Structure 1
């Protein structure tokens, strides 16, 4: 998946993905669903982590594609020793700034979620949010995560199908757009600059899950990789309700009916 650009350099899909998220860093924390804007939402995320991974109690956690560190801070709240890994330097700069502002002990490093360069059997848990749908080679990534986990360690994936939009969601979003244009609904918080949408759409069309990262497909691939005790959790309603308070009512309803999920899987002991 590499092309020769006009300068004669090898520039592939993974480079495009890295460039896209680097550009997104400036506005990433402005969007509900990325940063956390209320204690109610923070508590809802804590409940999800505790449900599947338990209390940290000093255990080691690797937050893959950690971005500006939102999930890393949730894990730190719960007593995990957290390392965040991201390959977009602008994201890491913001994550490190938050650590200083909040006086946390999270370690953030530059690294590739599909080839972490971490030691074998290094972490008790691995967590990622909204990463799997962007993977170029998820089979290889899952094998890499298996390698890095300790025996009996757990993986928690939080993701969704952001490609297939159902009729109800289309109607809600279309109505929201019309009402915003005539001033009857407040504008949505900034999600992504419009100038990046063409790059986003091009990337989505070429990743492995270009047809949408459905939970059952991700779970099946994890099973093929050797993970055990796989649990698919689609009950994220509490999180969605807390996020919806920061969208207009129609956008909040649309978000609540999207195919979003958490998958917990365990490395054999």
Structure 2
């Protein structure tokens, strides 16, 4: 009886948590996760500054902070950063990285869909590649709205990783053909087959299983109370910097993917 009860209580959210905990060991090896060049670092700084403005003394909550990549970029700019993640393995790597770089970032264990902080706790909320994984994004956005101070800003960086453009489909076929004749380089990181299968299984069951399109995410943010919502598709300088550290076809495909930043605000009134 006890075993059956435990199994029945293990749901999709638990699978997502376990998956990212297992990804922690190699997460920073993948271009597009960690920063691999000054060019990419500066491109991220420009994106963050474009949407958030000067840091001043503002506090920022990095949602699903992982190993702390975005937290470090925000710290570079002078924000007072708190990183929140529900994977203890990710947090351990984030804390070790921050200590090695003498950073002042506060990393905490917590659930981005059920934040324990009081109302109006942060000036800024930021997340990267999180929204597509959310089981109930509408409820989550209402929670983010709650902990954001009046006049504060939310910045989402994400994409549709499901529906491929025509150019992506052509590139994918070229890549598949090339793989028949050439063995991939050992230096090119890739997911182990079991992790790749679990990733696809999770993706098929989250809310945005058909792809997190920018317009759909923006509409849901508006329904949650956010205002002044802007969609930014001009991430090319980041993608070009990342492509230099990817296999040619993957780097080329990145230029055609539906990736975006969405900036939204909480009314000051």
TM-score, normalized by the shorter chain, greater than 0.5 = yes
Residue number in structure 1 paired with 2:124 = 125
The SS at the match of 1:109 is strand
Q: Is 2:32 aligned against 1:26?
A: no
Rounded Cα–Cα distance in structure 2 between residues aligned with 1:36 and 1:191: 17
Rounded Cα–Cα distance in structure 2 between residues aligned with 1:5 and 1:211: 32
The answer (yes or no) to whether the contact 2:188–2:247 under 8 Å persists in 1 is no
The answer (yes or no) to whether the contact 1:118–1:148 under 8 Å persists in 2 is yes
The SS at the match of 2:26 is helix
Residue number in structure 2 paired with 1:261 = 260
Please, which moves more after superposition, 6-15 or 89-98? 6-15
- Deviating beyond 6 angstroms after TM superposition, the runs of 4 or more aligned structure 1 residues are none
Residue number in structure 2 paired with 1:115 = 114
Q: Is 2:63 aligned against 1:72?
A: no
The answer (yes or no) to whether the contact 1:62–1:126 under 8 Å persists in 2 is yes
Deviation sequence 1:105-144 (CA, Å, 0-9, x none): 0000000011111111111100000000000111111011
Q: Is 2:215 aligned against 1:230?
A: no
The two structures have a TM-score, normalised by structure 1, of 0.95
Q: In the superposition, relative to structure 1, how do residues 110 and 7 fare at CA in structure 2: closer, same or farther (>3 Å)? A: closer
The SS at the match of 2:211 is coil
Rounded Cα–Cα distance in structure 2 between residues aligned with 1:68 and 1:8: 29
Q: Is 2:163 aligned against 1:159?
A: no
Deviation, structure 1 residue 167: 2.9
Residue number in structure 1 paired with 2:249 = 250
Q: Is 2:224 aligned against 1:204?
A: no
Please, which moves more after superposition, 89-98 or 186-195? 186-195
Residue number in structure 1 paired with 2:12 = 13
Rounded Cα–Cα distance in structure 2 between residues aligned with 1:7 and 1:155: 37
RMSD, aligned CA? 1.6
Deviation, structure 1 residue 41: 0.1
Deviation, structure 1 residue 184: 8.1
Deviation, structure 1 residue 233: 0.3
The SS at the match of 1:52 is helix
Rounded Cα–Cα distance in structure 2 between residues aligned with 1:234 and 1:16: 31
Residue number in structure 1 paired with 2:168 = 169
Deviation, structure 1 residue 23: 0.8
The SS at the match of 2:239 is helix
The answer (yes or no) to whether the contact 1:27–1:192 under 8 Å persists in 2 is no
Rounded Cα–Cα distance in structure 2 between residues aligned with 1:164 and 1:185: 25
Q: In the superposition, relative to structure 1, how do residues 55 and 228 fare at CA in structure 2: closer, same or farther (>3 Å)? A: same
Rounded Cα–Cα distance in structure 2 between residues aligned with 1:197 and 1:100: 31
Rounded Cα–Cα distance in structure 2 between residues aligned with 1:97 and 1:193: 25
Please, which moves more after superposition, 128-137 or 197-206? 197-206
Q: Is 2:185 aligned against 1:183?
A: no
